[in-house]
Amino acid sequence: MSRLSFPQKSSEAVLNNVVTAKDLELLVQDQAFIDGCWVKKAQTFNVYEPSTAQVLGTVADCDLNDIQSAIESANVAQKNFYSSTTAAQRGNLLRKWHDLVMQNVEDLGRILCLENGKTINEAKGEIAYAASFIAWFAEEGTRSYGDTIPSSTLNTIVLTEKEPVGVCGIITPWNFPAAMISRKVAPALAAGCAVVIKPPSETPFTCLALTKLALKAGIPGKAIQVCPTKNRQVASELATHPLVRKISFTGSTNVGKNLAILAAGTLKRISLELGGNAPFIVFDDADVDLAVEGAMMSKFRCSGQTCVCANRLYVQRSILNKFTRSLVQKVSELRLGPGIEDSCTQGPLINASAVNKVKSHIEDAVSKGASVEIGGSAPEVPGFFMQPTVLSGVTVDMLVARDETFGPLAPIFPFDTEEEVLNLANSTEFGLAGYIFSGNVARVMRVARKLEIGMCGVNTGKISAAESPFGGVKESGYGLEGSKYGMAEYQTIKTITLGNLHMPGLIFPKCDYISGPSEPY
């Protein structure tokens, strides 16, 4: 029997109710949202619960006509949304959305936990994290300043202003089904853009629930369109349709490259947050306990399924045994089980393929001389579970040195010198995140500057927050999310040149100004 049940009421009746945490069914939706309406589709696809490998529910499977309709509707809505609201009014709408999300943390967390597999506490933490981006961009939209530029021509003024880029295609991954929505959609709406979202087919329920709350907050229905689909050709329409002016994608490097090629056909703006292979460097002057704590956070959060996971742990040889023993002890204290149970600290992986990839990395490493310090196998139980695993004696010829594992596997590589570890850390086509643990400030700054990455954590395993720029270099993509830079991804700069200001008779139209605060949209 499904662990999620759907309301018997009509979508309109559900949306007319005040959404509270009293009834989970009010937030569960299995339909698409197109042109301001919930749309039921005869064609659906299954969503599986990772903890049981059983069907959790079914969701509308949109076709090409659906997504084209959504794009065309969003194009009209975008112009109306921007022209009829101020930045302050859009900020008010986002603040209301944020408040509704925070009022429903418990139910949103349960939905996320069931479809994604992460523990219930981690799921609720992600909901709060997602809400922080909505709050941030509610404020940031009012600070999108233009410039007055000194002109090289007499009697001329050069001005710039920022405008929304247009309809934005939003394609998000399954590992953070709430945070990746808010981190992309909130700045788009703050800038005055309309969005067409293709949520992950593994975890669509969270996106649909957040959409319900956005509508309840008063965000115009046609400014947000949600088209679930398992059809890659349908999703690719976002990258090729001429009315879509911007694509924001988080996911695999190969898919990101394909989207970039497709988007080039209409010269769309595109931002890509792709694969990672993060080095985690522990020098012999580091606080080992702090480094182990950072490794647990950056490696085993979301069962190792994050793009900024510590994928390669480099530990200086003189503290190698101490670090390894301490890490193994901490890993032994993790409790594997269904994420919905409060006592569990490690949930399942997203699907069987994810489990098989971790197993193949372990088998490859062991066949080439690595040792399993703890874990190393998949328990024979229902669901997609994998034991948290630590490998020692890892070398550069093993798969774990080159490939992003995306699972609860911590391979430990020994190193001797700073120069050696920098060469090892940078010997990858990826460059998203990295971590350094050291008590030497000069070394920290020296190594941080030489690492070929977009984000660096120093003596911490936590590097992401709404105020912090998020993005990578090399084949980890381009463009930034979050922070004051995140708004710019959804805006264009228009230059206005006012010339011949000395001419007699040149007048400006009379303006009527209304004092006092603006009414909310």
Catalytic residues: 273
CA atoms in the 13 A half-sphere facing the CB of 274: 23
Q: Which of 315, 316, 314, 312 has its CA nearest to residue 277? A: 312
CA atoms of 6 and 17, how far apart (whole Å): 15
Burial of 254 (0-12, 13-18, 19+ CB in 10 A): exposed
Q: How many helices (H) and strands (E) does the chain have?
A: 15, 22
At a CB cut-off of 8 Å and minimum separation 6, what does 447 contact?
281, 418, 422, 436, 438
Contact 104, 24 (CB under 8 A): no
Burial of 507 (0-12, 13-18, 19+ CB in 10 A): exposed
Contact 411, 312 (CB under 8 A): yes
User: Measured at the alpha carbon of residue 416, what is the angle toward residues 413 and 421, in degrees to the nearest 5?
Assistant: 60
Question: What DSSP line would sit under 199-265, residue for residue?
Answer: --TTSHHHHHHHHHHHHHTT--GGGEEE---S-HHHHHHHHH-TTEEEEEEES-HHHHHHHHHHHGG
Residue whose entry in the numeric block shows the structure tokens 């349908």: 234
